[in-house]
Structure 1
Amino acid sequence: MTKAYALLSTYPPTQCGLATFSAALFANLGGPGDHVGVVRVLDEPVPGEPLPGRAPEVVHDLVNGSAQSAAAAVDVMNGFDVAIVQHEYGIYGGPDGQDVVPLLYALRVPSIVVLHTVLARPTTRQRAILDAIIDAASAVVTMTRTARTRLLDIYGTSPEKVCVIPHGSADNRVAVAPREAGHPPMALTWGLLGPGKGIEHAIAAVALLRDRGRRVAYTIAGQTHPRVRARDGEAYRSLLAALASALGVADLVRFDPRFLPAGALGGLIGAADVVLLPYDSLEQVTSGVLIEAVTAGKPVISTAFPHAVEMLAGGAGLLVGRQDPAAIASALDRMFTEPGLSARMSSHAADLAPQLLWPAVALSYRDLAAAVARSYDGAVA
């Protein structure tokens, strides 16, 4: 049975979705006697490390652009039973992160590559990179059936090589205290902030509702994405704040600019009446925020990006058109006025939750790791 797992990914204190995902997978993957090590992906070395305070699970840093670091990363991962590699365009070195490809081919242990993005319309280079990643991997994981179908239909991947394991979630199911009289219902959007989140359309929807005599408080939680901040500073957040003021809803729109730890995030989700995902993207096949919202039993209003269409089809949420404030406003109005709608959505979400919690998701990874290890040993023999 597989007992040693190497995780290759960005990792805290890096603040991004993959780092958060990998930290949760690390925390839940190993059993008694197992060894889980993290090979952390960095854009540049951390000055002064290794330090006594560095997380003990980090066994090596893969510094992008360093051939020596990549060769050492391969040697380290070859000391484990299975390598579990997180893939997203841009986190590895080279154009579109192409430097991960030779690393995967150099591994002498079976590898599971977790695909956080599967583009329906990749560029020529993006297509070539993903084709090579799939070829080098022992197995690939998508987090939705939509992404798996794209791999089969667009990339021609063998069905036997693709496994669907949902994005995991912390258990944020909490009893919600009754809202105090006079306090408006609260909609919540959270996650790393940047253009493409569609939050400007949600603010416009809050203004439309205010014009109809309905007050909805809207909390926007999360810091600006580090790469967006490095390029543009806080321009997007400033634009959103200016829009709220111009539309006369600055008193209803609240910004919480922190990168929230799990406990604080759980409390914020618990206080929300509805989670609002107004994303612009038509490509997004994986959303950790969507999974966290559904697992917490919260009704969701979302634009019809692929993961939302798949996850909410059973009744856990409402879908709206992208960049459509009027549709968002109508959905919010319906949420707060239609008898029983919110409770029905929460019930559907509760039915989905057990399979999405991290312990169940990690068990699926352990089972897959054992299967690829057996197949790999048989092929080598």
Structure 2
Amino acid sequence: MNKNIKSDMEGKTKIRTVQSNKNTIYHKPEIIFISTFPPKLCGIATYCQDLIQSLKLKFRESFGIIICPMETEDEHYQYEGDPEYRLNTSDAISYLELADKINKNNNIQLVMLQHEFGFFNETPNGLILFLQNLEKDLIITFHTVLPKPDLELKEKVKEISNFVKSIIVMTGISADVLANDYDISSDKIKVIPHGTHLLPFIDKISLKTKYGFKDKKLLSTFGLLGSGKNIETTLEALPEIVAQNPDVMFLIIGKTHPGIIKYEGEKYRDFLQHTVKRLHLEKHTYFINQYLPLDELLDYLQLTNIYLFTSKDRNQAVSGTFSYAISCGCPIVSTPIPHALEVLNEDLGIIIDFEAPKQLATAVNTLLKNETVQEKLRSNSLEKMAPTAWV
């Protein structure tokens, strides 16, 4: 498990005792996690599930864990174990009721909240109401930290920070932004890198054969599909890549983001498929329109020769897909989001400009023609990410 998380958990939980009839009864302390959770298709849901599973493996006897799924009025997911706590983010009263319910549970010693501003759009004051009424220690994880905020955003983040014991971010760049752009005390900010999966070595050739890609050089990208992924950058680069590597195949893995489906359907996927046809890339692209189970996803990453991260969001603080890919030993070609700038260097991959297909083509062709370099990058990636492993 991520060692930073381990020490933070140990420091925030205490055993409470109750004396009754001369017998000491030990009540195991509990931590409640407020987040999205599977089956919701959401990167933060997956992250929190992985975190909780890791904590349970290490600290099952030290403290209990309660989950509190966040969902809107329109969402009605069926969660494992039918959780007692839920937050309806569309209803301000739900925030107040949740705070009251947590306050009344004497076993709950710590609240862990996963924060993304989009989670709280439907009830703008709901989160502050919750924080104002909560009487327990709270740690918040900021999954997005926007630099150079306007006054309204700066004041909103500072107000949130006033109610919490600690703020967790996943990169040093995000920590610097909070301290310098939001004037939040560095003492309150903790950097804990995104957790990753440690995997046993699996032969890439046998994996390619298993999934029907024998003798192919595989490029891949994965995640919930949306225009922010900017996958067209890779498609525009592919003709130049194919010219030098006619055996290349580009895997586009993932369903369209449910939030995007709700408002525009499959518009972006249709655009990508049209681009494939326009550039005559039908024999060199393969869409996997699924939210893959973890073991299968990790297989696809392990059989990948080069992973492509082409996000055009200049302020994307961290990416779980990026972390998963590098922990699977994938050489990476990436746009310069803060996460990539902090983690990636010449020993792990190549950084290109945003929306730069010619740079991407050059980078991919350079890597594909040298298997020794690919293997060196794979080895370096595994060594770099080992300390961030969940278990």
Provide the TM-score with structure 2 as the length reference.
0.85
Corresponding residue of 2:219: 187
Alpha-carbon distance between aligned partners in 1 of 2:95 and 2:193, rounded to the nearest angstrom: 29
Report the Cα offset of residue 112 of structure 1: 0.5
- Residue by residue over 1:272-293, the C-alpha shift from the partner in whole angstroms, topping out at 9 and shown as x without a partner, is 1111101111111111011111
- Residue by residue over 1:230-269, the C-alpha shift from the partner in whole angstroms, topping out at 9 and shown as x without a partner, is 1110010110011011101111111101111111111111
Corresponding residue of 1:365: none
Which segment is superposed worse, 222-231 or 129-138?
Answer: 129-138
Report the Cα offset of residue 348 of structure 1: 1.4
Alpha-carbon distance between aligned partners in 2 of 1:45 and 1:205, rounded to the nearest angstrom: 40
Alpha-carbon distance between aligned partners in 2 of 1:213 and 1:9, rounded to the nearest angstrom: 44
Corresponding residue of 1:369: none
- Residue by residue over 1:147-192, the C-alpha shift from the partner in whole angstroms, topping out at 9 and shown as x without a partner, is 0011111111111100000111233454123267972300110000
- Do the aligned partners of 2:142 and 2:167 also contact (CA within 8 Å) in 1? yes
Corresponding residue of 1:377: none
Alpha-carbon distance between aligned partners in 1 of 2:243 and 2:346, rounded to the nearest angstrom: 32
Alpha-carbon distance between aligned partners in 1 of 2:163 and 2:156, rounded to the nearest angstrom: 11
Alpha-carbon distance between aligned partners in 2 of 1:213 and 1:271, rounded to the nearest angstrom: 17
Q: After superposition, where does 1:168-247 map in structure 2 within 5 Å?
A: 168-178=195-205, 183-212=215-244, 214-247=246-279
Which residues of structure 2 form unaligned runs of 5+?
Answer: 1-12, 15-28
* Cα 1:76–1:29 shift into 2, 3 Å: farther
Corresponding residue of 2:64: 35
Corresponding residue of 1:262: 294
Report the Cα offset of residue 56 of structure 1: 2.0
1:137 corresponds to which letter in structure 2?
Answer: V
Q: After superposition, where does 1:323-362 map in structure 2 within 5 Å?
A: 323-338=355-370, 340-359=372-391
Out of 98, 120, 138, the position equivalent to 1:111 is 138
Alpha-carbon distance between aligned partners in 1 of 2:84 and 2:374, rounded to the nearest angstrom: 46
- Do the aligned partners of 1:87 and 1:116 also contact (CA within 8 Å) in 2? yes
Report the Cα offset of residue 314 of structure 1: 6.0
Alpha-carbon distance between aligned partners in 1 of 2:130 and 2:39, rounded to the nearest angstrom: 24
Corresponding residue of 2:7: none
Structure 2 residue 50 is matched with structure 1 residue 21 = no
Alpha-carbon distance between aligned partners in 2 of 1:45 and 1:213, rounded to the nearest angstrom: 47
Corresponding residue of 1:65: 90
Structure 2 residue 193 is matched with structure 1 residue 166 = yes
Corresponding residue of 1:44: 73
Out of 108, 113, 116, the position equivalent to 1:88 is 116
Out of 300, 303, 328, the position equivalent to 1:271 is 303
Alpha-carbon distance between aligned partners in 2 of 1:166 and 1:98, rounded to the nearest angstrom: 29
- Do the aligned partners of 1:314 and 1:348 also contact (CA within 8 Å) in 2? no
**Could you say what secondary structure the match of 2:204 adopts?**
coil
Corresponding residue of 1:9: 35
Cα RMSD (Å)? 2.0
Corresponding residue of 1:303: 335
Deviating beyond 6 angstroms after TM superposition, the runs of 4 or more aligned structure 1 residues are: none
Alpha-carbon distance between aligned partners in 2 of 1:200 and 1:45, rounded to the nearest angstrom: 32
* Cα 1:342–1:57 shift into 2, 3 Å: farther
- Residue by residue over 1:119-168, the C-alpha shift from the partner in whole angstroms, topping out at 9 and shown as x without a partner, is 01334433222111111111000000010011111111111100000111
Corresponding residue of 1:76: 101
Corresponding residue of 1:290: 322
Report the Cα offset of residue 20 of structure 1: 0.9
Provide the TM-score with structure 1 as the length reference.
0.88
Alpha-carbon distance between aligned partners in 1 of 2:79 and 2:54, rounded to the nearest angstrom: 20
Which segment is superposed worse, 301-310 or 211-220?
Answer: 211-220
1:218 corresponds to which letter in structure 2?
Answer: F
- Residue by residue over 1:71-121, the C-alpha shift from the partner in whole angstroms, topping out at 9 and shown as x without a partner, is 2211233331100100001112446x5421221222111110000000013
* Cα 1:346–1:226 shift into 2, 3 Å: same
Alpha-carbon distance between aligned partners in 2 of 1:60 and 1:320, rounded to the nearest angstrom: 44
Which residues of structure 1 form unaligned runs of 5+?
Answer: 360-381
1:82 corresponds to which letter in structure 2?
Answer: L
Which segment is superposed worse, 143-152 or 1-10?
Answer: 1-10
Out of 134, 140, 147, the position equivalent to 2:161 is 134
- Do the aligned partners of 2:141 and 2:169 also contact (CA within 8 Å) in 1? yes
Which segment is superposed worse, 34-43 or 207-216?
Answer: 207-216
1:329 corresponds to which letter in structure 2?
Answer: A
* Cα 1:213–1:142 shift into 2, 3 Å: closer
- Do the aligned partners of 1:81 and 1:110 also contact (CA within 8 Å) in 2? yes
